[in-house]
Structure 1
Amino acid sequence: MIDNPDYEIEDEARVRDLVRHHGWATLVSVADDGAPVASHLPVLLEDTPHGEPMSLLGHVGRPDDVLHRLDSGRESLLIVQGPHGYVSPGWYDLTPAVPTWNYVAVHLHCTVELLAPAESYRVLSDTVDRYESVMPHPVRLPHVEEYARRIAKGAAGFRLRVTRWQGKAKLSQDKPRAVAERVIAALEADEHYAKPTLAAEMRAELGRRSAGTDGGSAGGSTGGEA
């Protein structure tokens, strides 16, 4: 990740919040032949007691579990991408200036535990519930249980236990506040590049800067890897 301490996320609660609200992730492992393997998948943050490492649940379609060697005990990397978007220098009202890309992302280094079929099915059901809950007429797996249990055999559930993490939030911290405010306004309304969720992240970042805090502190063994 970009090696700039100004963008470092140091608050684990902020990382948990990112995973909770932006649960589409990329799982990266190393195959037996040394080649990297990547899968894109939804993850759920587990509720863990205060002070315990983060734990996540997810699933892959078979045979991705074999390609990733998820039963090998090797460490895998999970990348969670939060809001991101193009930033035009035309929004700065400042010269000289060049374009950039603002984003929030975390890298979670994890050990992997494959789950038994019954627990894998619960992961699938909980994932459906997580995203269907906001629908006017939510569809739950019990509504289509016979079909759901049949196709669930093609998925492998797993638990990720986070051993260390690194997060970066590149949100125009290097720009004067007035410039950042103009970028926020453009991200809220621009015809081509509006990204309201990214604008909201930038507003929150300005609030942290005004309060003289980055939102908390990180555990020394969990953050800080470039």
Structure 2
Amino acid sequence: MRQNPSFALGERAEIERIIRENPWGTFVSNASTGLVASHYPVILDDTREELSIVSHVGRPDEQLHELGEHELLVILQGPHGYISSSWYDADPAVPTWNFVAVHLSGVPEILGADENLQVLEKLVDHFERELPNPRQMRGTLEDERYAERISSGTVGLRLTPTKIVAKQKMSQNRPDHIVDSIMTELGGDSPYASPALLREMQLVHDRRRAAR
């Protein structure tokens, strides 16, 4: 991902927020058979001091990716959307695309069966806790036995990235009145309105304006 100082995202807390709020990852490997891509949920590993994520893949994806033999790239993408040049008062102007993305790369650690089961449990609990009646993986004896049985069809992994590239392009290179115009459009009823992208822009520009 081409980096631009105006849009670089370097704060660990912000990178972790993006991961928490956008936990659907794209896993990319340059395997001996060529490029391989898969898609799995990820969560932050709160047992490590350094930024780490844990996840799992379904068999035989661990073989397709040759996990543990080379670098794995995990891509997390946040809110994004088209920004029309008609929303500017500049002339001439071209449209753009605002987005936030985090790229994590490194050689993943393959987890043993017991730790893999613990990670699966954490993944389930992480997403179920948002529901009014969360169903835990070990909520009943039957669920626990079933989870232990099917977990053998998965391979757990931990990625502590050796390289992090994060970008948050939210019109930081535009003056305030154009930023405000873009946010008005994103919150409106146009075909490109986006409440999620509007929220992300508000977070970015509220911080920028408060820091002045």
Q: TM-score, structure 2 length as denominator?
A: 0.91
Alpha-carbon separation, structure 1, partners of 2:91 and 2:32:
51
2:8 matched to which residue of 1? Answer: 8
Matches within 5 A, 1:19-168: 19-33=19-33, 35-48=34-47, 52-72=49-69, 74-142=70-138, 143=140, 144-168=143-167
CA shift, 1:89, in A, is: 2.1
CA shift, 1:191, in A, is: 4.1
Alpha-carbon separation, structure 1, partners of 2:24 and 2:2:
21
Corresponding letter in the other structure for 1:12: R
Structure 2: give runs of 5+ residues left out of the alignment: none
Corresponding letter in the other structure for 2:63: V
Contact 2:62 2:155 in 1 (8 A): yes
Contact 2:68 2:107 in 1 (8 A): no
1:43-91 deviation line (CA, Å, top 9, x unaligned): 1101256xx431110011110011111132x221111111111112222
Matches within 5 A, 1:183-222: 183-212=182-211
1:203-223 deviation line (CA, Å, top 9, x unaligned): 12212322347xxxxxxxxxx
Percent of matched pairs sharing the same residue: 44
SS of structure 1 residue aligned to 2:108: strand
Corresponding letter in the other structure for 1:7: F
Structure 1: give runs of 5+ residues left out of the alignment: 214-226
Contact 2:3 2:167 in 1 (8 A): no
Alpha-carbon separation, structure 2, partners of 1:104 and 1:129:
26
Change (3 A) 1:48 1:141: closer
1:222 matched to which residue of 2? Answer: none
SS of structure 2 residue aligned to 1:189: coil
Corresponding letter in the other structure for 1:25: G
Alpha-carbon separation, structure 2, partners of 1:196 and 1:80:
19
SS of structure 2 residue aligned to 1:200: helix
Greater mean alpha carbon deviation, residues 165-174 or residues 141-150: 141-150
How many residue pairs are counted as aligned between the two chains? 209
Alpha-carbon separation, structure 2, partners of 1:124 and 1:156:
10
Corresponding letter in the other structure for 1:47: D
1:120-171 deviation line (CA, Å, top 9, x unaligned): 1111111111111111111111242233222222111111111121111111
CA shift, 1:112, in A, is: 0.7
Change (3 A) 1:189 1:48: farther
Greater mean alpha carbon deviation, residues 83-92 or residues 15-24: 83-92
SS of structure 2 residue aligned to 1:90: helix
